Structure 1
């Protein structure tokens, strides 16, 4: 290990690889400045690109011998396409449309090619830009956005000073006694003390993030038990009052329970006590494995083999998912599975042929799972083909069986449990490029499960013949059950559902903490900007990391055991090879981030930040060395907490998203707009927040196909509008002269070939509706004790589709459309055209939204980082149904926000 001689006994954050000097001399600063390019820098503070590094992109740092060094990509493979499952395009009914079974996506289409030029030259919906978003949707990160970001930060600083001034004025006017009481709960406002230059405050090694008692494994909390007993007496009175409240609530047990408005309830004296009484029914284990039929076998080298039931079950894990090619064709997935499979086969007596002779399984490529796959596919197809009544009965039976596990009693209140099912055994998939993908997830046994429950409550019975690992009564924990999984050694917890009181309170605290940061953000930014030029290397590294976390929403990151965990990093754990510098001030990040998802982005930064990063990468540093070698996440968060109690790096993401959204919504021109246009404006603001806070995603493989389907829907509405106009001519031919031939002309997008295909689709769609209605009516008759309708009735109903096909054929030939409906008039048809115009406009807005969102994860921002009260206020203030922004699940999750705002839209972040 090479260590600079000027370290002066400076304690180091890390001790591996080459280490930066402890001090930055003025001479070193001047030398870095001289190396700077005279090129005019781009506007700092924005992401300017999202895509792979070009082959000719060179790191401006040089190798020790002076030769330019090409950036390493050893830790990053192919670009990962990943979309957050929780993301939704709210307000867009098109999302409910089922994908066509025959829909195909060309996987090798370039995402950089304009979509309108792809797929047989099909014309796609226009991008609507005239509803308040004047920026170019294709280039959203240019100079104008950088200026907007600077303006937002300036406004934030102004508001912070204003809030502190108002607080100071209020304190001065308040009685002294009240001031003292208030100060006991206030976060520290004093400027953090500057650390001594010798770095005495720093610690050696990397510390993990402080864990709460609620999530800590039992062993880690054993030492705290004794201390907790000493506080027991202090909580007796509070416990009694809570029990009285619980008894009052229990009276409504059998009926509809009154909603617990915890946001209106007085604040608890001891916030660490999560519950006083807790009752639940434990966890639901997956069913036992059912062995394969005797004629269904795994084949090795073309011959069937017999396996022990445990090994056979593992073989079915792989065989049942052959359709998931992205997994089963992944070399890492195959290797990990095969290693575990061979180990289990060996431990269970080995594989044997039909004559009982041993079969040595040594090569994965000789394994044939086709027989197993076809068996499970057959079961799946048969299950899908069952009558709806049978499916409904099975679901009712399943719901009845799971009902006892779905809810618990938390301080006498009925609360929904989130994940009461123990995950079944299978193959670990992971996200992104996880090194353990394909590893066998073993079946979780009751002996591995710890139950957390109230002392007076009945302990749930474990499955027959088994027992729980441990039963405990920890009222500072919010989990009901816990076990450790075998793949990564992580602890799995059964928690309350997202719409529960506990989860709602956690969300509320998160956003309130972000609101509190408003008071301090200007001083924090001023301090770290000043320390970007600090002579103390540790301070300079910390300031640079804070800049990146604040401005570009990088996660702080923690060190990991890379042999046993995915090689994921964050800001504080960036390695030499993860950062490429390009003069004059462009920084290229390329690493595996959270969930092993590839983070690739180019940022333009302040010149001083660029210079610092160049200094942190100074030779002899090389691949594998830490960029921030004198900084850990623990040290960073400890520094941040000196500004505000509980402040950590991740609070900046929530603050920046919520504050930016609040400012953008305040500036919206929403007068005289339709609901669809208001939704579009809201989504435009959400998109800007996602971009400014770096919530990006790669373009989904199905995006182009989805846009083409939207284009067909749009053209379908235009075709319907043209038919309606032709019906007007059928009633009054003189209208052609009055309104002009252009009014009745066919849209140029609708050629005859497309019309005939669309007509065929409409006929097929009608046939499907008739068949489904016929089956549903028959099921209803049988359920009521009647007889099914004969096939003759089905054929009679299908005549409507035949007649529609004949009508279309006649229209194509005569170029005339007969008026439809009861008592059609020109006035009625004109009204129908107006409604169609509105539907077309709405769909165009939705198309523009979807196209604009193809590289931006709106859901990530809206669900996790933007205070939901901002969305509620917008909906209330401008009369937009909250359902347009929040799905049913999100409305349950954010019920506290919806109810606490009520009908008062004056709340501000």
Structure 2
């Protein structure tokens, strides 16, 4: 089997009898079909991406809560069917979890992660590290893995300052040879010692654009670009580009975090009501009431769990800060938050109504206040800080059916926050009264500050910005680790295929779990507490989540990360089908399917297969290699730019479906599509007028097949409506222009124009559109400025291409309405795939990556066009 192809295969021609497969892989031959997953309107047969509306998942296929004895096509009793350590009649419950004693495995069920190593050099224990659960962790968390295998064919002559950094005492120690950066031109010693950090743009920009960038810039623009170039640090050209040493920095200085402003009480006349009477709340209780009032007309306020949690926490606050008028608030239903809601809406309207000058002034004041928090000094160079703002208090919204949604998020104070700075750095002063919880000097971690939020007890961290050297090293290391898996994946697959028939139950369960993680890109999953959302991954699947359908189909139906429903009916190998049947035997619906496998034990086994390998690396590997193959399969020779964009987004969409990156269709999607359809018809109206002008000038063109077809979807009603809209827009433009002209005259000390001038202009516009109305149905058109036939033909051709491209854009937007393309692009797809593809197909990188992503992945922008994952 080839090591550079994904195992997944979307297949329509290998379905079992009577099956409707939505996300299906077949015989594991290592190929991926370019056709997308078949989508139908039947929510029982399609992934959530095709059945979700505005965050509410569709009803799953009806399932019996009582287990029935399934009927299977075969009942083999061979040795391959049952491992020696088979399931007992009933699992033993330990601490509320299903545990089964091993009979022959020789290993303990309670495999735990190795204890953390003590801090070196006698350092005091650093603040608690973030415990990341596979199911609840952010997708973009760096992998704590060994040094990634460096990319091949990357030789470079390092700039003088890069060599100095690499040899300095603060350079991290490395056991493996450092990767060599890509060959670059020598930089003269007499040049500025700071390396030029402006990323090389993709070849798509062409020579003309390159020449433009060389041309001298004037004024502030040139100065600003020079400052940006000086600030950026090309860490990937260093000898230690992967940054795998234990020491992350030698000196670190920053200004801490910025806290939100204190609460300002509502005006005296704005008060909530209880039983129809106004209530005088103290500021502490009034602030919490305002949190709910702001969401009064949202879906949250209609949620029973949200309302119950809010009211419970609000009552706790009111016990300490009761209403000053003695009102006893005992019933949520009798509370009226409408007065506060209306006040908040009025304040929003005021902000929207601000003039552009007022908005600029407000933004300038905010930027000046935050300026010192936006950057830090890391090893003497300035780097941007990411999330330097402390989240304000509010109500926890959660995702999906989270049991704590509506709970009160407390205001974070300096006493809650631990800062991490260099030993010689001055301690920053918080922008609100209070003292920091602690100050630490741990140069083996990359966070600048941390605290623990009160809702779920999660650790919150402040890191450097996405485009910083430390973040970039982490991202590059993650994708290099996934690329390294290519060299081991065949052996790993052979090993777990062999273990599918193991006589040891734990090994057989682990192999089956690995099979699903590899084939279906499932997350590993962790056990959840009662106060957490009931989301699961592969290792935490329960028997109720997996259904067997003879002869060899497995149906998955569970809530994955962020409570997104995962529904998938897949055909599996016969041995896998047998294993699932064995694992479910003599178990209840709420028992764990893989009761002898944990995420910890699975990742420990994977690390033995390849150093640094985890279940998430498999997910990144399968996403990137599938994406690379889908792009390579597309023949884009002679394709237009929009056709290339559609091909790219289609490949991205398939990977997003594979990884279950779903979203609810935007509430404004239908409205946006209607606007786009109107715009297409507006283009056709313009083309029709040009055709009629061409026919009037040269009647012979009527016989030309190129211009013969009528604009069939332009009826008289649309034409009348469109021309009326155009007239109103022209009048509005004329009025704005008249006002601006008068303002300028007043500034110059001159008299403003008379209103009669505006009236004359509007009258002329109306006359023009009266003439257009007379042209309807005549097949003739008069141009304001006469054009030669060659120009008319050229304009018609351009409009035809524009219509074609816009229709493709509509198809692309509608196809992606329920798929989150950004998640895979940010976290799972190696950005070098996109950068190389853009150069090959002459596509500007800005068409694929937002400015944020270009800043996040500067190391990927300089990749060679022939680079492959």
Distance 1:789 1:498 in 2: 52
Distance 2:370 2:743 in 1: 26
Q: Are residue 544 (structure 1) and residue 508 (structure 2) matched?
A: no
- Alignment counterpart, residue 351 of structure 1, candidates 319, 323, 326: 323
Question: 2:854 matched to which residue of 1?
Answer: 891
- Alignment counterpart, residue 298 of structure 1, candidates 272, 288, 305: 272
Deviates more, 1:675-684 or 1:700-709: 700-709
Q: Report how many aligned residue pairs link the two structures.
A: 715
- Alignment counterpart, residue 842 of structure 1, candidates 805, 811, 815: 805
SS across alignment from 1:482: strand
Q: Per-residue displacement from partner, 1:258-291 (whole Å, max 9, x unpaired)?
A: 5321111101786121111111111111111111
Q: Are residue 320 (structure 1) and residue 294 (structure 2) matched?
A: yes
- Alignment counterpart, residue 618 of structure 2, candidates 633, 636, 652: 652
Deviates more, 1:723-732 or 1:830-839: 723-732
Q: Are residue 818 (structure 1) and residue 818 (structure 2) matched?
A: no
8 A contact 1:407–1:414 mirrored in 2? yes
- Alignment counterpart, residue 670 of structure 2, candidates 681, 699, 704: 704
How much has 1:694 moved relative to structure 2? 4.3
Residues 757/278 of structure 1: CA separation in 2 closer, same or farther (3 Å cut):
same
Residues 861/537 of structure 1: CA separation in 2 closer, same or farther (3 Å cut):
same
Residues 551/282 of structure 1: CA separation in 2 closer, same or farther (3 Å cut):
same
Question: 2:399 matched to which residue of 1?
Answer: 431
Q: Per-residue displacement from partner, 1:742-785 (whole Å, max 9, x unpaired)?
A: 93553211111222222233334445555666677788889x88
How much has 1:359 moved relative to structure 2? 2.1
Distance 2:610 2:383 in 1: 33
Question: 2:220 matched to which residue of 1?
Answer: none
Question: 1:45 matched to which residue of 2?
Answer: 25
Question: 1:201 matched to which residue of 2?
Answer: 107
SS across alignment from 2:264: coil
Distance 1:487 1:805 in 2: 62
Q: Are residue 754 (structure 1) and residue 718 (structure 2) matched?
A: yes
Distance 2:742 2:244 in 1: 61
Residues 780/42 of structure 1: CA separation in 2 closer, same or farther (3 Å cut):
same
How much has 1:554 moved relative to structure 2? 0.8
Q: Are residue 616 (structure 1) and residue 583 (structure 2) matched?
A: yes
How much has 1:693 moved relative to structure 2? 4.5
Question: 1:477 matched to which residue of 2?
Answer: 445
Instruction: With the length of structure 1 as denominator, give the TM-score of the two structures.
Output: 0.72
Distance 2:313 2:750 in 1: 55
Residues 839/53 of structure 1: CA separation in 2 closer, same or farther (3 Å cut):
closer
Question: 2:263 matched to which residue of 1?
Answer: 289
Residues 817/541 of structure 1: CA separation in 2 closer, same or farther (3 Å cut):
same
Question: 1:307 matched to which residue of 2?
Answer: 281
Superposed, which structure 2 residues align to 1:838-877 within 5 Å? Answer: 838-877=801-840
Distance 2:765 2:391 in 1: 47
Where does the alignment leave 5 or more consecutive residues of structure 2 unmatched? 1-15, 27-36, 62-101, 131-164, 173-191, 198-223
8 A contact 2:118–2:125 mirrored in 1? no
How much has 1:623 moved relative to structure 2? 2.9
Distance 1:109 1:616 in 2: 29
- Alignment counterpart, residue 554 of structure 2, candidates 587, 592, 596: 587
Residues 885/212 of structure 1: CA separation in 2 closer, same or farther (3 Å cut):
farther
Higher relative contact order (CA 8 A, sep 6+): 1
Deviates more, 1:404-413 or 1:707-716: 707-716
Distance 2:539 2:833 in 1: 32
Distance 2:522 2:115 in 1: 17
Distance 1:320 1:483 in 2: 26
8 A contact 1:553–1:652 mirrored in 2? yes
8 A contact 1:616–1:627 mirrored in 2? yes
Residues 81/493 of structure 1: CA separation in 2 closer, same or farther (3 Å cut):
farther
Q: Are residue 601 (structure 1) and residue 561 (structure 2) matched?
A: no
Deviates more, 1:579-588 or 1:425-434: 579-588
SS across alignment from 1:590: strand
- Alignment counterpart, residue 663 of structure 1, candidates 621, 624, 629: 629
How much has 1:220 moved relative to structure 2? 4.0
- Alignment counterpart, residue 442 of structure 1, candidates 396, 410, 414: 410
Deviates more, 1:845-854 or 1:689-698: 689-698
Instruction: With the length of structure 2 as denominator, give the TM-score of the two structures.
Output: 0.75
How much has 1:376 moved relative to structure 2? 0.7
- Alignment counterpart, residue 601 of structure 2, candidates 631, 635, 640: 635
- Alignment counterpart, residue 704 of structure 2, candidates 731, 739, 757: 739
Question: 2:647 matched to which residue of 1?
Answer: 681
Question: 1:160 matched to which residue of 2?
Answer: none
SS across alignment from 2:814: helix
Superposed, which structure 2 residues align to 1:62-141 within 5 Å? Answer: 81=53
Distance 1:420 1:669 in 2: 45
Where does the alignment leave 5 or more consecutive residues of structure 1 unmatched? 1-37, 58-75, 84-106, 113-195, 223-234
SS across alignment from 1:359: coil
How much has 1:219 moved relative to structure 2? 4.7
Question: 1:157 matched to which residue of 2?
Answer: none
Superposed, which structure 2 residues align to 1:164-175 within 5 Å? Answer: none
Distance 1:200 1:820 in 2: 90
Residues 474/241 of structure 1: CA separation in 2 closer, same or farther (3 Å cut):
closer
Q: Per-residue displacement from partner, 1:26-50 (whole Å, max 9, x unpaired)?
A: xxxxxxxxxxxx9698886277778
8 A contact 1:274–1:477 mirrored in 2? yes
Distance 2:703 2:60 in 1: 48
How much has 1:343 moved relative to structure 2? 1.1
SS across alignment from 2:861: helix
Question: 2:309 matched to which residue of 1?
Answer: 336
How much has 1:351 moved relative to structure 2? 2.5
Q: Are residue 526 (structure 1) and residue 494 (structure 2) matched?
A: yes
Q: Per-residue displacement from partner, 1:61-90 (whole Å, max 9, x unpaired)?
A: xxxxxxxxxxxxxxx9x986579xxxxxxx
Distance 1:444 1:307 in 2: 22
Question: 2:251 matched to which residue of 1?
Answer: 277
Question: 1:32 matched to which residue of 2?
Answer: none
Residues 767/868 of structure 1: CA separation in 2 closer, same or farther (3 Å cut):
farther
Distance 1:603 1:306 in 2: 60
Distance 1:791 1:473 in 2: 71
8 A contact 1:42–1:585 mirrored in 2? no
Q: Per-residue displacement from partner, 1:324-356 (whole Å, max 9, x unpaired)?
A: 2x11111111111011111111111x235xxx3
Q: Are residue 507 (structure 1) and residue 487 (structure 2) matched?
A: no
How much has 1:809 moved relative to structure 2? 2.7
Deviates more, 1:291-300 or 1:788-797: 788-797
Distance 1:777 1:435 in 2: 59
Residues 249/273 of structure 1: CA separation in 2 closer, same or farther (3 Å cut):
farther
RMSD of Structure 2 on Structure 1 (CA): 3.8
